[in-house]
Amino acid sequence: MEHTSIKQALDNESLTGTTVTVAGWVRTFRNDRFIALNDGSTIRNLQCVIDQEKVDATTRARFTTSAAVECTGVLVESKGSGQRVEMQVTELKVLGDSDGEKYPIQPKKHSLEFLRENAHLRFRTNTFSAVFRMRHQVSFGIHEYFDQEGYNYFHSPIITASDAEGAGEMFRVSTLDAKGPPLNDAGEVDWKEDFFGAESRLTVSGQLQAELGALALGKVYTFGPTFRAENSNTTRHLAEFWMIEPEAAFMDLKGDMDLAEGLCKHLIARVLKNSMDDLQFLDGRLKEEEATKPQAQRSEMGLIERLKFVLEDPFERITYDDAINILLRSKPYQKKQFQFPVEWGIDLQSEHERYLVEKHFKKPVIVTGYPAQIKAFYMRTNAPGDFGYSEKGKTVAAMDVLFPGIGEIIGGSQREERLDVLEARMKDMNVPAEELDWYLDTRRFGTVPHAGFGLGLERFVLFVTGMGNIRDVIPFPRFPGGAEF
Whichever of 89 and 397 has its CB closer to Mn ion, that residue is 397
Residue closer to ligand ATP, measured from CB, 72 or 205 = 205
Residues of this chain, 433-472, that bind ligand ATP according to CB under 6 A: 454-456, 458-459
Q: What is the size of the binding site for ligand ATP (CB under 6 A)?
A: 16
Residue 348 near which of ligand ATP, Mn ion, none (CB within 5-8 Å, type-dependent)? none
Quote the CA–CA distance of 30 and 224 in Å, as a whole number: 44
Q: 3-state DSSP: the chain helix, strand, coil percent, rounded to 5? A: 35, 25, 40
> How does 331-354 read in b/e, with b if 16+ C-beta sit within 10 Å?
eebeeeebeeebeeeeebebebbb
CB of 219 or CB of 237, closer to ligand ATP: 237
CB of 256 to ligand ATP, least distance (A): 13
In one-letter notation, the amino acid at residue 79 is K
Instruction: Return the biggest CA–CA distance within the chain.
Output: 85
> Residue 307 binds which entry of Mn ion, ligand ATP, none, with Cβ cut-offs from 5 to 8 Å by kind?
none
Q: Using the rule CB under 6 A, give the single segment among 58-66, 105-113, 261-269, 406-414 that binds ligand ATP.
A: 406-414
Range in contact with Mn ion (rule: CB under 5 A) among 37-45, 55-63, 100-108, 407-415: 407-415
Beta bridge partners of 395: 371
Minimum Å gap between C-beta 278 and ligand ATP is 22
Single out the residue of 301, 424, 408 nearest to residue 357, CA to CA: 408
- Identify the helix (H) or strand (E) that includes residue 190: none
Q: Which residue lies nearer to ligand ATP by CB, 163 or 277?
A: 163
Using CB under 6 A, pick the residue from 68, 167, 272, 448 that binds ligand ATP. Answer: 167
Query: What span, in angstroms and rounded, lies between the C-alpha atoms of 265 and 391?
Result: 34
Measured in degrees and rounded to the nearest 5, phi and psi for residue 450 equal -155, 165
CA nearest to 456, candidates 267, 275, 224: 224
Q: How far is the CB of 400 from Mn ion (least distance, A)?
A: 6
Which one of the spans 118-126, 187-195, 234-242, 248-256 is the region binding ligand ATP (CB under 6 A)?
A: 234-242
Which position among 124, 133, 237, 265 is part of the footprint of ligand ATP (CB under 6 A)?
A: 237
Cβ neighbours of 321 (radius 10 Å) = 20
Closer by beta carbon to ligand ATP, 43 or else 461: 461
Residue 119 interface partner, choices ligand ATP, Mn ion, none, CB cut-off 5-8 Å depending on type: none
CB closer to ligand ATP, 73 vs 412: 412
Residues paired with 319 in a beta bridge: 368
CA distances 216 to 210, 225, 255, Å, are 10, 24, 19
- Its sign, for the CA torsion 383, 389, 394, 396, is negative
19 has which bridge partners?
74
| DSSP E strand stretches across 85-218 | 85-96, 152-153, 159-160, 172-173, 200-202
DSSP state of 122: G
Pairing of strands 240-249, 219-227: antiparallel
The 126-165 contact track toward ligand ATP, x by CB under 6 A, reads ----------------------------------------
Shortest distance (Å) from residue 318 CB to ligand ATP: 17
Half-sphere exposure of 327 (CA within 13 A, CB side): 28
Closer to ligand ATP at the Cβ: 11 or 169?
A: 169
Residue 25 forms beta bridges with which residues? Answer: 38, 68
User: Which residue from 50, 409, 467, 473 is in contact with ligand ATP, where contact means CB under 6 A?
Assistant: 409
Q: Which is nearer to ligand ATP, 122 or 228 (CB)?
A: 228
What 3-state DSSP class applies to 288?
helix
- Subset of residues 6 to 35 that bind Mn ion, contact rule: CB under 5 A: none
Sheet of strand 365-371: strand arrangement: 152-153, 219-227, 240-249, 450-456, 407-414, 395-403, 365-371, 316-319
- Does 411 contact Mn ion by CB under 5 A? yes
Stretch that binds ligand ATP, among 13-21, 92-100, 119-127, 403-411 (CB under 6 A): 403-411
**Residue number with CB closer to ligand ATP (100 or 225):** 225
State the binding partner of 302 from Mn ion, ligand ATP, none, CB within 5 to 8 A by kind: none
Question: Whose CB is nearest to Mn ion?
Answer: 411
- The contact set with ligand ATP (CB under 6 A) reads 167-168, 228, 237-238, 241, 243, 408-411, 454-456, 458-459
Q: What are the residues binding Mn ion (CB under 5 A)? A: 411
